[in-house]
Structure 1
Amino acid sequence: MTGACGEPEIPEVGIIGGWTTAGCEFSRTPESVDVGGRTWPVTPKPLEAAIGRIDEAGRTQHKSSYAGIEVDQQRVRAIVYRVPSAAFDDFIRNAAENTCIFVRDARYGMHELATWHDRLRADIPAWQARGIFISTISARHDGVGLEIGTPDVDQAREQLPRQYGRKAPLIFIEEGPVMPLAGTGIPTAPQPGG
């Protein structure tokens, strides 16, 4: 017989489906800068600071929840992707101050996708020996999964889930080997000796 006092402690999930911060109630004009005769969008300083706070805390204090962030400069807002978490939601709400942050659900957090990334990267030689060439491995910032770039999507889609399980967060995209860019004639960094 098993007994216990009280109910098991279950962490608060947070709002499911997404939400926005109070700063989204205000309209903002996009900012831009002219460089070399071209106009480029610029992230306003308050939004840039909020993004920095959220990204830093997401990577350190809320890494099981945080998946990534994107900036929508045209609408002067950021979009944070996270596995629902009440604690991280509270942090985002406070860190946003008066900026507009859209918060969206993610299936996987950055930490879990990084673990999958490292596992697949370590297995690249074994996959090459089996005739499956992996060109790129990249965690999606929206927490949907891990993109596996390969020239043979069908073979990879068949073989990798056999190794890692059908529920592995793998997204297959057709991608050939990474090729260095041809020289532009203009060095990107000073050459050795000057």
Structure 2
Amino acid sequence: MDRRTRARVGTAAAGAVLALAALQGSGAGAQTVADASSSPSSSVTVCHGTRPEGSLPDLGFPDDTPLQRTLNHVDKIAHGRYAEKFTSMAVDEEGSSADIYRIPSASFDAAVCGTAEKGVTVRLHDTDINEADITALADRISEDMSRWDGTFQLREVGQDGRGHVLVGVDDPETAEPILRKAFGERNAKYIRVEYAPQAELL
């Protein structure tokens, strides 16, 4: 992934590109800025940084930028006081912008927008599930990868970065209704089933 389409998620979300992806060398759960921008959302709030450039603490990296400093502080906000609201974040370094997915919260939005330095654009998208809950659902789906043998092959499990668990299988038409029934109506809307090719060992 190049600098323009770097995806950022918290520690818990990073762990949600789960064991299957690790074993098969999959890219499940990777998110690009194009993915983020095309995601349907009932509401998007856009804010432009007003904090003077350089007013946030320097991270100590040679290429430290207003965007990097802003994201460092957003990470702290998202995984601290507002952990119950935060879902995920995708970053466009060339465009000096970030797409943040969260359960709507005026105070969270104000905290994030108040953190952004000049030159940084933040887009806040509505979701209805937080990072911890989407990670827990991904964990449940991937717990027993051989459970579905004989009906379909479960090949990838990860997060799409917008409040869904992305499940890669060999036969989506067969797998989707089975998975939705297995994990219940409440969780069904958070499960996206797509075709994934069989990984090959190099």
* Aligned twin of 1:176: 197
Alpha-carbon distance in structure 2 between the residues aligned to 1:78 and 1:91: 15
The residue type paired with residue 153 of structure 1 is P
The residue type paired with residue 182 of structure 2 is Q
* Aligned twin of 1:83: 103
Q: Is the 8 A contact 1:69 1:78 kept in 2?
A: yes
1:1-194 superposed matches below 5 A:
17-23=43-49, 45-98=65-118, 99-128=120-149, 130-143=150-163, 145-168=164-187, 169-180=190-201, 182=202
Cα–Cα, structure 1 residues 60 and 140, in superposed 2: closer, same or farther, change >3 Å?
Answer: farther
Q: Secondary structure at 2:78's aligned position in 1?
A: helix
Deviation at 1:44, TM superposition (A): 6.4
Gaps of 5+ in 2: 1-41, 51-62
Moved over 3 A (4+): none
Alpha-carbon distance in structure 1 between the residues aligned to 2:83 and 2:191: 20
Q: Secondary structure at 1:163's aligned position in 2?
A: helix
Alpha-carbon distance in structure 1 between the residues aligned to 2:198 and 2:79: 30
Alpha-carbon distance in structure 2 between the residues aligned to 1:122 and 1:19: 36
Q: Is the 8 A contact 2:67 2:117 kept in 1?
A: no
Compute the RMSD of aligned alpha carbons: 2.2
Pick the structure with greater CA Rg: 1
Identity, in percent, stands at 18
Deviation at 1:156, TM superposition (A): 0.8
Q: Is the 8 A contact 1:54 1:92 kept in 2?
A: yes
Deviation at 1:146, TM superposition (A): 0.7
* Aligned twin of 1:12: none
The residue type paired with residue 79 of structure 2 is R
Cα–Cα, structure 1 residues 23 and 96, in superposed 2: closer, same or farther, change >3 Å?
Answer: closer
The residue type paired with residue 118 of structure 1 is D
Q: Secondary structure at 1:84's aligned position in 2?
A: coil
Alpha-carbon distance in structure 2 between the residues aligned to 1:139 and 1:61: 22
Deviation at 1:72, TM superposition (A): 2.1
The two structures have a TM-score, normalised by structure 1, of: 0.66
Deviation at 1:111, TM superposition (A): 1.3
Q: Secondary structure at 2:72's aligned position in 1?
A: helix
The two structures have a TM-score, normalised by structure 2, of: 0.64
Q: Is the 8 A contact 2:49 2:113 kept in 1?
A: no
